[in-house]
Amino acid sequence: MSALRADLRLVVAEATPLTDEVRQLTLVAPDRSRLPSYPPGSHLGLTWRHGPDRVNSYSLTGDGDSPSDYKVSVLRVPGGSGGSAWVHELKSGSTVQAVAPRSNFAPAARARRHLLVAGGIGITPLLSHARWHARWRHEFALHYVHRPESAPHLDELGDLCGDRLTASQDRAALWADLGPALASQPLGTQLYVCGPHPMIDAVTGAARALHWPESRISVEPFGAPDEGPRAPFRVALPGSTVNVSAEETLLEALERAGLDVPSMCRQGVCGECRTPVRSGRVDHRDLVLSAAEKASGEWVMPCVSRAADDELELQL
């Protein structure tokens, strides 16, 4: 079960390999009508398993204005929970259930310039941004680092961005361009970073060292970083107790106990599973709650976070 509303029915119009490991889906409404618009950088939830539903979020790569289709580019993740493998099996004509687009990484409306930094498949939301900025003639630049053998969307980015695109194939080449760029952006520039965690940490760390204000730094992580050691603990609920083993997440234990907890990314990113805490200390491992919210101890993201002690009491 899931309280998520995957009530958007879409049909796969096209499934195209972009590289050996990245596949692009073009999804349309069954009657080919226009789909709901979305802000650039939004993601689409695709239900890849039913009963209980599992939904994975994928960044939409269009500019979002009155779209006639939704395009997502999905990296196959060997050893993942199964969502990306499911996408790679979809055929043209398949029907999928989707959660309407959600925005968590939109362009800053009051920025004078936009500096986009993408690593690997992290290019997807920033391709959406680049389309938007190109369309509205905003000032922007895109730094895209990718492996030599896998550079999804590189050709169309070249056409779209022209000399505003700097593509590099390794870390040293990225920093040779990005290092000076971070130090020389005009006042009012917004920085956007999407890619693997080490890259996000390195880029935001460099920006902070150059005294970029926090409000001018936007990130879109793929998931919470490696969670560290897990220990078993108990969860007290009104009228019952659930034991959480070291092998499962708090969310999995709650679902095993038959509780209907809304969830989507299951990686500590989307915020869908935010749950109120009645008592007990939380070991926060998510990327959703602010430092102040974490310190308040009032909320937990059960998909990745755990109890800091032996027991946690939730208000479900």
Q: Please report how many Cα atoms fall inside a 13 Å half-sphere around the Cα of residue 95, on the Cβ side.
A: 7
Mutual orientation of helices 197-209 and 171-182 as an angle, nearest 10°? 30
> How crowded is residue 208: how many other Cβ atoms within 10 Å of its Cβ?
12
Using DSSP, state whether 290 is helix, strand or coil. Answer: coil
138 binds another protein (CB under 8 A): no
* In the complex, minimum distance from the CB of residue 173 to another protein, in angstroms, rounded to a whole number: 23
Taking CB under 8 A as the rule, does residue 57 contact another protein? no
Interaction between residue 212 and another protein (CB under 8 A): yes
Among 88, 216, 234, 294, which residue interacts with another protein (rule: CB under 8 A)?
216
What's the CA gap between 80 and 83, in Å, rounded?
Answer: 7
Nearest distance, CB of residue 184 and another protein, angstroms: 6
Distance of closest approach, residue 178 Cβ to another protein, in angstroms? 13
Decide if residue 149 touches another protein (CB under 8 A).
Answer: no
Q: Which is nearer to another protein, 110 or 137 (CB)?
A: 110
Q: In what order do the strands lie in the sheet with 189-195?
A: 165-168, 140-145, 113-119, 189-195, 217-221
What is the Cα–Cα distance from 30 to 9, expressed in whole angstroms?
7
Instruction: Decide whether 51 or 213 has the Cβ nearer to another protein.
Output: 213
Residues 155-194 that bind another protein (CB under 8 A): 183-189
Stretch that binds another protein, among 63-71, 109-117, 169-177, 232-240 (CB under 8 A): 109-117
Residues 6+ apart with CB under 8 A from 136: none
Both tokens of 99, joined, read 């959660």
Contact by Cβ (8 Å): 97, 47: yes
- Smallest gap from residue 142 Cβ to another protein (A): 17
Minimum CB distance to another protein smaller for 86 or for 212:
212
CB 122 within 8 A of CB 222: yes
Element (H, E) at 215: none
Whole-angstrom Cα distance, residue 18 to residue 24?
A: 6
State the CB neighbour count (10 A cutoff) for residue 108.
Answer: 15
* The only residue of 20, 91, 211, 239 in contact with another protein, by rule CB under 8 A: 211
| Near another protein by CB under 8 A: residue from 112, 135, 256, 281 | 112
User: According to the binding rule CB under 8 A, does residue 214 interact with another protein?
Assistant: yes
Count interface residues toward another protein (CB under 8 A).
Answer: 17
Query: Which one, 52 or 188, has the nearer CB to another protein?
Result: 188
Quote the least distance from Cβ 162 to another protein, whole Å: 23
CB of 139 to another protein, least distance (A): 11
Interface pick for another protein out of 7, 30, 110, 258 (rule CB under 8 A): 110
Work out whether strand 189-195 and strand 113-119 pair parallel, antiparallel, or are unpaired: parallel
Q: Which residues make up the interface to another protein (CB under 8 A)?
A: 110-112, 183-189, 210-216
